[in-house]
Amino acid sequence: MIKDKSCESVVYSQKGNEYQIKSKYVISTNDIETLYTKMLSDHIVSQKFKQKLNDAVLYSSAVTVSIALDCPAENLGIGQELICISKEGINRNDHDSGDPLISDISILAPSVRDKSLAPEGKGLLTLYIPAYIDYKDYWGCTKDEKGNYLRGEKYNQIKTEVADILIQRVEKELSIDLKTHILFYDVSTPITYLRYTGNKNGTMMGARPGKENMQAGIAHHQTPVKNLVLGGHWSDLGGGVPICAKAAINSVTLILKKENKEKFNLLASYIDGKIGLAELNSSKLVKEYNNSWSN
């Protein structure tokens, strides 16, 4: 919600009810193309920049097969390590092409590290490959009048086929009889990631570093709206946890620079390496959070 060219609140609906959250500042961590094209009025951001966002080079999405095992993953010879299956004799770009027959497969067994994730005597296994939303004509989906993907029998068929291919490749490369130990599994596709996160094309980490995105000015924190700041992996190129942490610090310091110069200088000194963590925490400007927040 914009008043006098300044963002003053966020309005959302849940279960048929509308709510408003008022705040002097709003930090947006969602897909910036969604922010600029759907959440703000058309005139606020130029059509030229919206087109740059539309043309931005993004990271891939993913297919994730989450498997429940009837035995600990260790019984299959899988420990805490990340296992990568990579096909030989193919073009470098084909390794993340999204084709389940040739794309690199990452394998993790989260229940090995954390025993509370599975019942005693059972285990979890996660298979992952890079993937794209336009695979097999958008995973066999159709669209409704609002552009939402409609998942049906064809969609379920395609994602099951992809999961079967990945399981077969893992069995072959690791010489294990994986299928007989599967209690059930769940498949997440780029359609799934789009539906749950709202990230364009279900991308995992936003915009890629590179010449095109840098020249287009895709990464930024300040928006055309006063007191609306960008955070999260959409505000900087690179994606992932380090970029999100960096973006969070940047968005906070931008606000502190306007609101409290003394606190801004203290935090900036720590970020720039001029003071250490002990000196930061010992400052009278830093207070321990008392968990007083309530919703």
pLDDT at residue number 166: 98
Spell out the long-range contacts of 42-51 with Cβ–Cβ below 8 A and sequence spacing 24 or more.
44/2, 44/224, 44/225, 45/224, 49/217
pLDDT at residue number 194: 95
C-alpha count within 13 angstroms, C-beta hemisphere, residue 205 = 15
pLDDT at residue number 117: 95
Helix (H) or strand (E) holding 270: helix 261-271
What is the rounded CA–CA span in Å between residue 267 and residue 229?
Answer: 18
Identify the structural domains of the chain with CATH numbers, from first to last. Answer: 2-56+210-282 (3.50.50), 61-202 (3.90.660)
- Regions of the chain with pLDDT less than 70: 295
Spell out the long-range contacts of 164-172 with Cβ–Cβ below 8 A and sequence spacing 24 or more.
165/100, 165/101, 166/63, 166/65, 166/100, 166/105, 166/127, 166/129, 167/65, 167/67, 167/127, 169/85, 169/100, 169/101, 169/105, 170/85, 170/105, 170/107, 170/127
Q: Where are the beta strands (DSSP E) in the chain?
A: 2-3, 6-7, 9-14, 17-22, 26-28, 61-69, 83-85, 105-108, 123-131, 142-143, 149-150, 182-188, 228-230
Q: Which residues contact 162 (CB under 8 A, 6 or more apart)?
A: 63, 100, 187, 189
pLDDT at residue number 42: 87
What is the rounded CA–CA span in Å between residue 39 and residue 47?
Answer: 15
CA dist list (Å): 28 to 21, 118, 169, 235, 253? 13, 35, 40, 9, 15
* CB-CB contact of 244 with 233 (8 Å): yes
pLDDT at residue number 290: 81
Q: How many other CB atoms sit within 10 Å of the CB of residue 259? A: 11
pLDDT at residue number 270: 94
pLDDT at residue number 291: 80
Dig out the tokens for 155 from the structure: 């969609």
DSSP 77: T
For 1-43, the pLDDT digits (tens) are: 998 889 999 999 999 999 999 999 999 998 999 999 989 988 8
pLDDT at residue number 120: 95
